[in-house]
Homo-oligomer: A and B are copies of this chain.
């Protein structure tokens, strides 16, 4: 093929690709998230992108997800190997669509090599064959933490999650956010107490979970469609509308429980919620960062206790920017064990795409270089190389410009990439062991002895 003009070289639909200024933003965010995760002792793991299909489909965890199967394509000269490659046949494999099923597999694979409670973070990309639409990607990065125990898992692990969420989003500096906390036992317990039968509780919770999306009257309609009586419906509406400060909500819940029957589950949920809130406070999370929201249920079946959603205030339409909760039967699936765990997830690719679109985050400079050493005259190249190395050894990122171009063009090139400083050395400067340091932001240009250059640049970079 002489020319590439017949090949469609665009990315496959739904597979996102960042420009350098965007990828740098992603790395910046990943660094923050990782730092906070690690400060709480979460340790990194990475599971392969590819798992056995039977693993991904264990316990019906495929849910509604379209999984991508993989199948080897041999090069033309190796077709004969097809049958003996060990790559075909019964051993179906596919790309992971989340990090929870692989975590369960990871724990099963390394049970005796891990220390429990096992607190891990994972920031891999996952794949879902969804129709690509606004903000939905077929490949995206998720930042997940989970802590998993073999028997009991303290509720204080649940309390750490809001502290972690708070630290991350304060560090990212995206404005005010609110972590909405609830407990599934409070929900299921309340539904039981008002006489909803066991078999209807799950669907009632799903309906209530949609309150924000569909509104109160629609929730009423749908509950009645489920066969919930008018009286029960009213009690449910009153319940999920309980608001006020965290302590007020807890008080109202306790008062409510006194006037209901079969409140064992409800009271357990209230106690759990209270313990978690006390922990959140002891961890120093500011009061305006969290609330109890009884309408939060998290659609996913597997949550059994604490649940979280995080709303960016003033940008509620973005949806939850960090969610999670506690589960009992999720990660022990391959071992046939109950393993309680609690975790949260940040859908980073989607979050970045939305925050950029909403103007809440900005991309970074197109290059990590902080200084460009410009090319004034070819014969001084040895000096440019040495000065560049000197700056690098001081921890400064340097682009040395090797191409002959007019000085103005070189400044333009630096500026276009977001490089703030240019180091200019002509024969006069070289002879005097000095340089001109130009700040492209301010236009200011100062003379600096080469021996002081690294220090001066670092001072100005702040």
The answer to whether A462 has its CB under 8 Å from any CB of chain B is: no
Contact of A12 among B50, B157, B388 (CB under 8 A): B50
The answer to whether A117 has its CB under 8 Å from any CB of chain B is: yes
A67-B73, A117-B403, A389-B284 known; A58 vs B156 contact (CB < 8 Å): no
Instruction: Encode A354-371 as 1/0 by CB contact (under 8 A) with B.
Output: 000000000000111100
Q: Are A20 and B3 in contact (CB under 8 A)?
A: no
Contacts of A200 in B (CB 8 A): none
CB A269 to nearest CB in B, in angstroms, measures: 20
Contacts of A138 in B (CB 8 A): 50
Residues 88 to 112 of chain A near chain B (Cβ within 8 Å):
91, 93-95, 105-106, 108-110
Instruction: Encode A409-436 as 1/0 by CB contact (under 8 A) with B.
Output: 0000100110000000000000000000
Instruction: Encode A328-340 as 1/0 by CB contact (under 8 A) with B.
Output: 0000011110000
Contacts of A51 in B (CB 8 A): 11-12, 15
Contacts of A64 in B (CB 8 A): 75, 77-78
A109-B11, A386-B282, A400-B156 known; A68 vs B67 contact (CB < 8 Å): no
The answer to whether A46 has its CB under 8 Å from any CB of chain B is: yes
Nearest 3 Cβ contacts at the A-B interface: A41-B399, A154-B402, A41-B369
Instruction: Encode A48-75 as 1/0 by CB contact (under 8 A) with B.
Output: 1111111100110011111111111111
What are 18 A-B contacts with C-beta separation under 8 Å?
A1-B58, A4-B335, A11-B51, A12-B52, A12-B93, A15-B48, A17-B46, A17-B47, A19-B110, A20-B45, A24-B43, A49-B49, A65-B75, A66-B74, A87-B129, A115-B413, A119-B367, A156-B381
Total identical chains: 2
13 additional A-B residue pairs with CB within 8 Å, beyond A4-B59, A50-B139: A5-B336, A7-B58, A12-B48, A17-B48, A41-B397, A49-B125, A49-B139, A64-B75, A67-B72, A69-B71, A73-B94, A163-B389, A282-B381
Instruction: Encode A381-396 as 1/0 by CB contact (under 8 A) with B.
Output: 1100110110010011
Q: Are A43 and B20 in contact (CB under 8 A)?
A: yes
A interface size (C-beta, 8 A): 120
The answer to whether A2 has its CB under 8 Å from any CB of chain B is: yes
The answer to whether A134 has its CB under 8 Å from any CB of chain B is: no
Contacts of A119 in B (CB 8 A): 367, 399
Q: Which residue of B lies closest to A66 (CB)?
A: B72
A66-B75, A115-B366 known; A398 vs B39 contact (CB < 8 Å): yes
Contacts of A159 in B (CB 8 A): 385
State in angstroms the CA–CA spacing of A58 and B119 once bound together. Answer: 44
Residues 223 to 246 of chain A near chain B (Cβ within 8 Å):
none
Q: Are B68 and A71 in contact (CB under 8 A)?
A: yes
Q: Which residue of B lies closest to A332 (CB)?
A: B4
